Amino acid sequence: MGAEVVIEGLTKSFGKQAIWRDVTLTLPPGEVSAMLGPSGTGKSVFLKSMIGLLKPERGRCVINGVDIVTCSEHKLYEIRKLFGVLFQDGALFGSMNLFDNVAFPLREHTKKSETEVRQIVLEKLEMTGLAGAEKKLPGEISGGMRKRAGLARALVLDPQIILVDEPDSGLDPVRTTYISQLFLDVNAQIDATFLIVTHNINLARTVPDNLGMLFRKELVMFGPREVLLTSDEPVVEQFLNGRKRGPIGMSEEKDSATMAREEAEAAAGVADGSIDEDVRGVVPQMQVSPGVPARTGERRRKDRVMKILHTLPPAAQEGIIESLSPEEQQRYGVHPHMLVPAGTRGPDTGSMPSHHQGQLPADQVAQLPGNGWDGGQPRQGSHRMRPRGDQESG
Ligand SMILES: Nc1ncnc2c1ncn2[C@@H]1O[C@H](COP(=O)(O)OP(=O)(O)OP(=O)(O)O)[C@@H](O)[C@H]1O
């Protein structure tokens, strides 16, 4: 199973420029998570901090019991071996064919024989749909194939955590869907923990188990996909719909005068470049390809999310329950349109917070539980979403 990544109070700046502060989240082992955020909010900096390429000033990032923010160089070197990273352009060596590119980490970091190297490389090329392309140079193949080759190379050291930086960059929507499918298929086969950084709304809506968003130098939220997808937080709403109108401006944040002018324009029916269609809501999650084994991360996630169901906003609860098969609904003792009232016990074990229905305290919505995934008390301070009221949840 992939490694769990526990991030607490992580804060990063460059000189006087704060990038993000006090980021707290846990990447559940073997699940696929994605981080959204407008350009320049520090998503790439976040990925680089996770592998110790950049040093946050404060906070912890704990993997297999090692805090990579404070550990020795030697420990960091060991922990880095757990990671596979897919950079935006695949980061392939232009003068090497795909075989040698994919073989590179094995030849650099292991003492494997060429026979073993060959076997592993061909297996990973096959896994990423590149069988037969091993003699091609990066310049001779499409952008989508380069990304697949980058993924094949990220897989050769059997990573427990796979980081992906903007997988859709330079790809058309169809190729983006193919590479997204590949992430889920690979996740099913090796059960690694994934974190994908993306702007791509389709990918965000259909691929990950968990979704988070960085904005205004903070983590707006992180939790089960259904929470962000049903959120009425203005920044989430604007981002998912790709609207000009809202808190995100050309250079990230808008002032209140601009916001007021936009409100007035909206009231007057002035078009703002978006399609008049609200894409929020839970859409079915992409499934693995036929013939690929089921994702154990997905199964674990169901158990985990059902344990914290009662801490989630009503619309997210509904989305989660509706995504279950009738058999699963029976197993968990839930049914569509049943909301687990806050202040009562949920369908599963665990104590309930004492607050009114639909009025979850802002810091208790969609918090992931502690390390044991046991539905324990949510952590403070990593979530700032307003809850949706019952009347809005349909
Ligand atoms: N090594 C560095 N030194 C100084 N500033 C940096 C460094 N790396 C990144 N930054 C700054 O950090 C901010 C966040 O950059 P980052 O690339 O992480 O954003 P992003 O959210 O990934 O954006 P995009 O979606 O456009 O890729 C930017 O203002 C960038 O200029």
Domains and CATH numbers, the chain: 5-214 (3.40.50.300), 233-279 (no CATH), 296-392 (no CATH)
Residue 319 Cβ inside 6 Å of ligand 1? The answer reads: no
Residue 41 Cβ inside 6 Å of ligand 1? The answer reads: yes
Q: What is the DSSP letter of 362?
A: G
* C-alpha 19 to ligand 1 mean position (Å): 8
Neighbours of 104 (CB within 10 A): 17
SS3 content of the chain, % helix, strand, coil (to 5): 35, 15, 45
For 292-326, the pLDDT digits (tens) are: 999 999 999 999 999 999 899 989 999 999 999 99
* C-alpha 40 to ligand 1 mean position (Å): 5
How many angstroms separate the CA atoms of 283 and 156, rounded? Answer: 33
The pick from 11, 13, 14, 36 for probing ligand 1's pocket by mutation, whose C-beta has the most ligand atoms within 8 angstroms, reads 14
Q: Are 358 and 314 in contact (CB under 8 A)?
A: yes
How many angstroms separate the CA atoms of 316 and 266, rounded? Answer: 28
Residue 380 Cβ inside 6 Å of ligand 1? The answer reads: no
* C-alpha 35 to ligand 1 mean position (Å): 15
How many angstroms separate the CA atoms of 180 and 391, rounded? Answer: 34
Looking at the DSSP bridge assignments, the partners of residue 164 are: 86, 196
How many angstroms separate the CA atoms of 209 and 286, rounded? Answer: 10
Return the structure tokens found at 263.
């409100």
For 214-235, the pLDDT digits (tens) are: 988 899 899 999 999 998 888 7
Q: Are 202 and 179 in contact (CB under 8 A)?
A: no
Residue nearest to atom 6 of ligand 1 (CA): 14
Residue 43 Cβ inside 6 Å of ligand 1? The answer reads: yes
How many angstroms separate the CA atoms of 131 and 138, rounded? Answer: 15
This prediction's pTM: 0.82
Does the pLDDT of residue 366 top 70, yes or no?
A: no
- The residues, any chain, with a CB within 8 Å of residue 245's CB and separated by 6 or more, are 238, 262, 263, 265, 266, 272, 274
Return the structure tokens found at 360.
């979850």
- The residues, any chain, with a CB within 8 Å of residue 255's CB and separated by 6 or more, are none
Mean pLDDT value across the chain: 81
CA 196-300-293 angle, to 5 degrees, is 80
Strands in 83-86's sheet, in edge-to-edge order, are 83-86, 161-165, 193-197, 32-36, 210-215, 218-224
Average pLDDT over residues 141-146: 89
* Residue in this structure with the two tokens 């490694």, named with its chain if needed: 3
Return the structure tokens found at 164.
């992906």
How many angstroms separate the CA atoms of 168 and 200, rounded? Answer: 7
Question: In this prediction, does ipTM exceed 0.90?
Answer: yes
Give Cα separations from 117 to 95, 156, 182 (angstroms): 19, 9, 23
For 87-139, the pLDDT digits (tens) are: 877 688 989 999 999 999 999 989 999 999 999 999 999 999 999 999 999 99
pLDDT at residue 215, rounded to an integer: 86
CA atoms within 13 A on the CB side of 60: 10
SS3 165: strand
User: Sign of the C-alpha dihedral, residues 379, 240, 210, 31?
Assistant: negative
β 83-86/66-67 pair status = unpaired
How many angstroms separate the CA atoms of 313 and 321, rounded? Answer: 12
The pick from 35, 36, 43 for probing ligand 1's pocket by mutation, whose C-beta has the most ligand atoms within 8 angstroms, reads 43
* Residue in this structure with the two tokens 């990423």, named with its chain if needed: 128
How many angstroms separate the CA atoms of 118 and 193, rounded? Answer: 26
Task: Report the share of the chain in percent with pLDDT over 90.
Answer: 57
Task: Give whichever of 83-87, 89-93, 333-337, 356-360 has the largest mean pLDDT.
Answer: 83-87
Return the structure tokens found at 136.
């091609």
114: buried, middle or exposed (CB in 10 Å: 19+, 13-18, 0-12)? exposed
DSSP string, 1-61: -PPPEEEEEEEEEETTEEEEEEEEEEE-TT-EEEEE--TTSSHHHHHHHHTTSS--SEEEE
388 confidence band (pLDDT: 50, 70, 90): very low
